[in-house]
Amino acid sequence: MEFHDTLQAVPVSAPGCSCSGDAAAAVAQVHAEIDLQTSRFAAQTGIACPSGCGQCCHSPQVEATVADMMPLAIELVRRGVAAMVLDQLEARSDEPRCILFAADANDASRGRCTMYALRPSICRLFGYSGQRDADGNPQFSACRVHAESMPKIVAEARQAVVERRISLPILSDLAAQVRAVAPEGSSRPLSINEALRAALQTAALQVWMRSLQGEDDYDGDSPTPRIPPRRAA
């Protein structure tokens, strides 16, 4: 049976579908820390995304790493939809926008993430984080929508960060935490759809190999397998 066909045949209850993986679990812990920091920053500043905005999801320049997408990919494999998502990625290969974004039926500029709880770091941090300048001082990187819709709040947040009255999530620091727990070769930035494709193939192949071997448990200790090329049906 071809690898792609096997993806369609792997049910949610198949051996190996309980895979969490040490690296993926560690990445999920970093995501939880990011959520804690950004929630605190939002509460302290009053910055909030408009309901159903989705403007950041329209950017063709959003990047992620394979490691950062693994918790999401594992969940898609668990649900038995890996093959379907891979087919969508292939069919929309010229689409730079994340394929997991669902546009609003009445306004294509708005919408939502269909896998919001498992989104990668950049999606969690955008609009609620920043970087350090050449002198090591934190600088808040405001979202354009925030800056235009709540200029006073954003200005006050910038000043509070400069004066060190509030703690700013630093994107590079948190990205480094993901890299620190990522398997070798999985922390190179890719376009978000390419990172999702590679993560899905990796997660599904791990499940497939363990299913063939009759292994009921996935302990995450094995190295990430080499991703085979996609074969035509």
| Environment class of 125 (CB within 10 Å of its CB; exposed 0-12, middle 13-18, buried 19+) | buried
In this structure, the number of other CB atoms found within 10 A of the CB of residue 117 comes to 10
Higher pLDDT, 186 or 143: 143
Asked whether residue 229 is domain-assigned, the answer is: no
3-state DSSP percent of the chain in helix, strand and coil, to 5: 50, 10, 40
Kindly tell me if the per-residue pLDDT of 225 is higher than 50.
no
In this structure, the number of other CB atoms found within 10 A of the CB of residue 232 comes to 5
Kindly tell me if the per-residue pLDDT of 135 is higher than 80.
yes
Please name the helix (run of DSSP H) or strand (run of DSSP E) that holds residue 133, with its range, or none: none
Kindly tell me if the per-residue pLDDT of 51 is higher than 60.
yes
Per-residue pLDDT at 212: 76
Q: What does the pLDDT look like over 76-112, one tens digit per residue?
A: 998 989 999 999 999 998 888 899 999 888 888 889 9
Rounding to the nearest 10 degrees, give the CA dihedral for residues 87, 89, 94, 97. 150
Please name the helix (run of DSSP H) or strand (run of DSSP E) that holds residue 185, with its range, or none: none
Q: Is 165 helix (H, G, I), strand (E, B) or coil?
A: coil
User: pLDDT class for 220, splitting at 50, 70, 90?
Assistant: very low
pLDDT above 70 as % of the chain: 82
What secondary structure, in 3-state letters, does 165-211 show? CCCCCEHHHHHHHHHHHCCCCCCCCEEHHHHHHHHHHHHHHHHHHHH
Distance CA 183, CA 99 (A): 25
Q: Is 186 helix (H, G, I), strand (E, B) or coil?
A: coil
Per-residue pLDDT at 11: 40
pLDDT above 90 as % of the chain: 58
Q: Which domain holds residue 52?
A: 3-212
In the chain, the number of structural domains is 1
Asked whether residue 231 is domain-assigned, the answer is: no
Q: What is the mean pLDDT of residues 136-165?
A: 96
Please name the helix (run of DSSP H) or strand (run of DSSP E) that holds residue 90, with its range, or none: helix 82-91
Q: Give the C-alpha distances (Å, rounded to integers) separating 228 from 6, 13, 199.
A: 13, 24, 12
Asked whether residue 232 is domain-assigned, the answer is: no
Asked whether residue 89 is domain-assigned, the answer is: yes
Q: Give the C-alpha distances (Å, rounded to integers) separating 121 from 35, 102, 116, 145, 154.
A: 9, 19, 11, 19, 22
The DSSP 8-state label assigned to residue 220 in this structure reads S
Asked whether residue 224 is domain-assigned, the answer is: no
Asked whether residue 228 is domain-assigned, the answer is: no
First to last CA, the chain: 10
Asked whether residue 226 is domain-assigned, the answer is: no
Asked whether residue 220 is domain-assigned, the answer is: no
